[in-house]
Amino acid sequence: MRKLVFIAVVSFICCMSFDLSAQDVVAPRDGFYDHKTYTEKEPVAYPYVRESDLMWSKRIWRTIDLREKSNQIFYYPAQPQEHWKNFVTVIFDALKEDKITVYDSRYDDFRLPLTREEALSVFMTVETETMTKDGREIEITDTSYFDLQKVIKLRLKEDWFFDERRSVLECRIIGICPVFEETEMVDANTNEMETSDRPMFWVYFPEARKVLVNAEVFNPQNDARRLTYDDVFWKRLFVSTIYKESNVYDRWISDYSTGLDALLESDRIHNSIRQYESDMWQY
């Protein structure tokens, strides 16, 4: 009898030891070095610009279409990977962790900040389904976060200026606005659907840099030299289209040009900025 009890106790101790050791197992490092660089970075400070040195400036609003090949570094990966996420997921996670403040999309001058709950509600979708139970119709509402892949565009608000002291033409991004593709039914009889762009909120870029500088972007040329979203915006590694410049009417290009004419007007504005820089060096 004592022998049986002893065997049972030893077996129990062995099982407990096995369970504890299984819980203490640490996954092996997926690589040959410790990946720390992009969790300890600080954004590079902008050079200070005095108002008296500001020789010329122009405010520009532009759109980055994430579906274009050159901009897919913002759009992918569709699901978060070990070291990198797409741009909207980075902003979404920063909101959940209360690391950034966002502002009402109706105003691009950051006059109306949103609370954390209000900002997260922008990512919510509400689906209502009508069911019949016991001869009565009841509505079932399902609330969940929508697919972040539906965010297909980014709007940028930026200032171009010429610093007389440093003799450089420079651009500073002021704000970023993710744009969500919304689908609405136009005609219920024909099931005709219409898609439209819905701006979500404005992000104040100087504040968001603290988050973006630690968010990796896939570099197709070199896995050992990953970029961050701060690098992408700083080095302007994207293609975009200007949709508005500062003007006396406060109007968009789409208010007076459409189609090809709108694209040509966007190029004209872009070239006029570059031409100003060239003209500064003509003697």
β-partners of residue 151 are 180
Return the CA Rg of the chain: 26
* Residue 136 per-residue DSSP state: E
Whole-number Å distance between alpha carbons of 220 and 208: 25
pTM: 0.79
Confidence of residue 10 (pLDDT cuts 50, 70, 90): low
Whole-number Å distance between alpha carbons of 35 and 29: 9
Whole-number Å distance between alpha carbons of 225 and 228: 10
Q: What is the pLDDT of residues 64-76, one digit of tens each?
A: 999 999 999 999 9
Q: What is the pLDDT of residues 214-265, one digit of tens each?
A: 999 988 788 778 889 999 999 999 999 999 999 999 999 999 999 999 999 9
| Domain ranges within the chain, ordered by starting residue | 50-117+151-280
Q: What is the pLDDT of residues 103-151, one digit of tens each?
A: 999 998 999 999 999 998 888 875 556 666 666 655 555 566 778 888 9
* Residue 52 per-residue DSSP state: G
Helix (H) or strand (E) run with residue 116 in it: helix 116-121
More confident of the two residues 97 and 84: 97
Looking only at the bridges linking them, the beta strands covering 216-217 and 124-133 are unpaired
